[in-house]
Amino acid sequence: MGYYTRHIFFCVNDRGPDSDRPSCNRCGSAALRGYAKKKARELGITGAGGVRVNQAGCLDRCEEGPVCVVYPEGTWYTYIDESDVDEIIESHMLHGKPVDRLKI
């Protein structure tokens, strides 16, 4: 087993307002990643043998964004708000049950 049971990466890339392509941070991904990190700590599921919440640069799925990906399963999600992030953290990160309605 690896150091973490699960690892979630939130794309926080921002191409700027003049870009032809969307970017996840323009949808609030950095703030929601911070929220996810706080939520995981509050649940006591972080650290060795637990989960890790990280930011990532461009994951190149911005048209479906904002996006995050959970490993080791490689499950990709899109989300809108804190309630979606809560569901991903509590269902997938804590209990290993992917959230079908948010998968991309």
For tokens 């919440």, the residue is: 53
Mode of pairing for the β-strands spanning 6-11 and 75-78: unpaired
**0.85 exceeded by pTM:** yes
pLDDT of residue 65: 81
- Extents of the domains making up the chain: 6-102
What fold, for 6-102?
Glutaredoxin (3.40.30)
pLDDT in tens, 20-77: 898 999 999 999 999 999 999 999 999 999 999 999 999 999 889 899 999 999 999 9
Grouping H, G, I as helix, E, B as strand and the rest as coil, residue 85 is helix
Q: What single DSSP character describes residue 58?
A: -
